[in-house]
């Protein structure tokens, strides 16, 4: 049986990532027990040019216990001895087999270490020689860090992550809070895991999102047999077997073209990160190219059909540093099912065009009844979503959105008033006939929501003032988004949601026709008041607000807007570090 060994040649860089120079393969079946000279030509699948060759002396001998050789694979009964004429400086280099992305989300119920009854916690990570440290959250026992760390995995023995929590003190030694351990090697690859780890010998928990990516890509495309099983699993006849499992999505990241040059050699080392709510996937890195070809297939379970694929492309500078190259956001329902599409990249805020395009293919299967039921439930929290900070331009933009909403309400009120003042006789006559046929009037009740906040004094710090301005900014955004979502529901911006609203209204009309209103209100009240007794872990929710949270606001519609590729790349695209 043929067995091949791959050799990779790199250029050693002290300040940056080692540059890939080419690869070659040795077929063990072609070697003999006597040492012989082997010339291997180097090649790179991304380049069509001559990369030189490497001259080796190789031989294969039977493996015996007295040789003191460690067997890595029991299927290989021989030892390979390789010698190279060019001397190798330094020690033997061990290459990683996987990369772990550890996202530290938050902590809860940590013990107090300060006299004020709080702590200033931060977290230290240690794995072998790699050491990381999170930011400090001041005066809290339930910190929210939202930090991300990258670790390389070499083998099982060196993949234990030691996590320690400390309390920050300015004038004395930091206080130890607690610790926990996690073996990253045992975690399933290419799947995002949400782990709640308790601290050893002390109260408190830490919430992590951990994803392990293999360095070498794996082929995991769905076969026809898999697709047949998925169609059976998400068939309408099996709707109530597993309600939280809405569907299944497959995203193929094919390639990118025309990316921005991020390195001084006029090239980039791009890789692609795909996120769907809290799930995360990452491609391999293609070195020294502006037109990478990944051909990676990722699969995601769909928990909410209204989730959005967030696709970001970065330039890899070293293990932890990366530089942003482009981004695109695609809602699942907006993706053309099973069709390869090319999208123009946008900037980090999804507002302007940036250099490059990305080619992907989205395929998904879902149960529409489960998706409709899930739409009326609370939306899953996105743990690593950045908190909005106060910005003058954003505050002014929210003011303008609220003002446009008020103008729409005023215009609607003037239209209704004109029907009663007979400014337009035809319109008033139609309104009179409709009112006469209904035989009743519907009074609209306006519910004023009072938002109370403690007014900061003039002696408070500037950060407190900034916090108040941020709250005002978020309140304006909530009001404007609420009105825009209601408008977009009736404008059929998302047909699935609009059809769902029509079906619900039809069901409500039929129920009100056959059952008295007082009985319905009585049953609704009994259900609301007894739900906590029947389901102790029940999370209170408002079905109408949950539905509207799936409808995109005008800002989100602009973020999801697809820029035509014919528009070209921006002229003022500068390199940013």
CA atoms of 504 and 506, how far apart (whole Å): 5
Alpha-carbon gap, residue 196 to 209, rounded angstroms: 9
Q: Tell me which CATH homologous superfamily contains domain 224-374.
A: C2 domain (2.60.40.150)
Report pLDDT for 14: 54
Mean pLDDT of 526-546: 81
- Report the pLDDT value the prediction gives residue 80, as an integer from 0 to 100: 38
Contact call for residues 353 and 567 (beta carbons, < 8 A): yes
* pLDDT exceeds 70 at position 452: no
- Residue 64: its pLDDT value, please? 46
Residue 332 or 566, more confident: 332
CA 8 to chain CA centroid, Å, is 32
Fold of the CATH domain 98-214: Immunoglobulin-like (2.60.40)
pLDDT value at 441 more than 50: no
How far is it, in rounded angstroms, from Cα 128 to Cα 337?
A: 44
Mean pLDDT rounded to a whole number for the chain = 80
* pLDDT per position as a tens digit, 506-529: 999 999 888 888 888 888 888 878
Return all residues near 394 (Cβ < 8 A) that are at least 6 apart. Answer: 388, 473
Residue 333: Cβ-neighbour burial (10 angstroms; 0-12, 13-18, 19+): middle
The span from the CA of 17 to the CA of 203, in Å, is: 41
So where are the chain's domains? 4-62+79-85, 98-214, 224-374, 391-399+464-563
Fold match flag (98-214 vs 224-374): yes
Distance CA 307, CA 550 (A): 9
CB atoms within 10 A of CB 560: 16
Exposure of 184 in the CB half-sphere (CA atoms within 13 A): 32
- State how far the Cα of 318 lies from the Cα of 387, in Å rounded to an integer: 27
Does residue 499 carry a pLDDT above 90? Answer: yes
Q: What is the rounded CA–CA span in Å between residue 273 and residue 289? A: 17
Q: Give the separation between CA 101 and CA 292, rounded to whole angstroms.
A: 22
List CB contacts of 255: < 8 A, sequence separation 6 or more.
291, 292, 293, 294, 295, 358, 359
Residue 197 has pLDDT above 80, yes or no: yes
Mean pLDDT of 165-175: 87
* SS3 per residue for 258-272: CCCCCCCCCCCCEEE
Pairwise CA distance, residues 539 & 565, whole Å: 44
pLDDT at position 319 over 90: no
| 557-575: average pLDDT | 70
pLDDT at 329: 93
Q: By percentage, how much of the chain surpasses pLDDT 90?
A: 25
pLDDT of residue 445 exceeding 70, the answer is no
Calculate the CA dihedral of residues 495, 499, 505, 507 and round it to 10 degrees.
-160
pLDDT at 66 over 60: no
Per-residue pLDDT of 88-118, as tens digits, reads 333 445 677 888 999 999 999 999 888 888 8
């Amino acid at each position: 049986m043929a067995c091949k060994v791959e050799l990779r040649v790199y250029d050693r860089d002290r300040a940056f990532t080692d540059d890939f120079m080419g690869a070659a393969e040795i077929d063990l079946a072609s070697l003999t027990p006597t040492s012989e000279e082997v010339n291997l030509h180097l090649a790179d699948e991304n380049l069509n040019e001559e990369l030189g060759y490497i001259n080796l002396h190789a031989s294969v001998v039977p493996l015996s216990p007295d040789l003191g050789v460690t067997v890595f694979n029991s299927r290989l009964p021989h030892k390979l001895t390789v010698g190279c004429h060019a001397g190798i400086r330094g020690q033997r280099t061990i290459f990683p087999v996987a990369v772990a992305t550890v996202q530290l989300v938050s902590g809860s119920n940590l013990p107090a270490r300060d006299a004020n009854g709080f702590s200033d916690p931060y977290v230290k990570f240690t794995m072998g020689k790699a050491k990381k440290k999170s930011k400090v959250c001041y005066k809290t026992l339930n910190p929210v860090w939202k930090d991300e760390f990258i670790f390389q995995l070499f083998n099982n023995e060196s993949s234990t992550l030691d996590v320690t929590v400390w309390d920050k003190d300015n004038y004395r030694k930091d206080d130890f809070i607690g610790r926990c351990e996690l073996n990253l090697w045992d975690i399933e690859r290419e799947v995002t895991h949400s782990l709640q780890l308790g601290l050893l010998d002390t109260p408190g928990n830490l919430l992590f999102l951990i994803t392990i990516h293999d360095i070498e890509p794996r082929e995991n495309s769905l076969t026809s047999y898999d697709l047949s099983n998925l169609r059976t699993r998400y068939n309408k006849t099996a709707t109530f077997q597993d309600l939280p499992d809405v569907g299944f999505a497959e995203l193929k990241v094919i390639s990118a073209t025309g990316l921005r040059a991020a390195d001084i050699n006029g090239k980039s080392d791009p890789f692609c990160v795909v996120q769907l709510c809290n799930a995360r996937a990452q491609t391999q890195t293609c070195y020294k190219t502006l037109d990478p070809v990944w051909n990676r297939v990722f699969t995601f379970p769909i928990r909410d059909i209204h989730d959005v694929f967030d696709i970001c492309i970065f330039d890899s500078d070293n293990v932890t540093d990366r530089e942003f190259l482009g981004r695109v956001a695609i809602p699942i329902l907006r993706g053309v099912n099973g069709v390869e599409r090319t999208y123009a990249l946008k900037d980090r805020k999804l507002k302007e065009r940036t250099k490059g395009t990305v080619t992907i293919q989205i395929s998904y299967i879902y149960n529409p009844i489960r998706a409709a039921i899930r739409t009326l439930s609370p939306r899953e929290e996105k743990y690593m979503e950045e908190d909005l900070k106060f910005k003058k331009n954003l505050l002014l933009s929210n003011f303008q959105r609220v003002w446009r909403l008020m103008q729409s309400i005023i215009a609607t009120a003037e239209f209704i008033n004109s029907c009663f003042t007979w400014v337009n006789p035809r319109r008033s006559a139609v309104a009179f006939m409709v009112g006469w046929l209904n035989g009743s009037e519907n009074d609209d009740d306006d519910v004023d929501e009072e938002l109370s906040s403690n007014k900061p004094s003039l002696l408070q710090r500037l950060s407190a003032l900034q916090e108040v301005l941020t709250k005002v900014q978020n309140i304006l955004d909530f009001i404007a988004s609420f009105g825009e979502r209601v408008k977009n529901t009736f404008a059929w911006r998302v047909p699935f949601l609009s059809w769902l609203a029509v079906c619900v209204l039809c069901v409500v009309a039929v129920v009100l026709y056959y059952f008295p209103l007082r009985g319905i209100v009585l049953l609704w009240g009994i259900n609301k008041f007894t739900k906590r007794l029947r389901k102790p872990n029940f999370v209170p929710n408002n079905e109408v607000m949950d539905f509207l949270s799936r409808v995109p606001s005008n800002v989100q519609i602009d973020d999801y807007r697809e820029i035509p590729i014919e528009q070209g790349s921006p002229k003022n695209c500068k390199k940013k570090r």
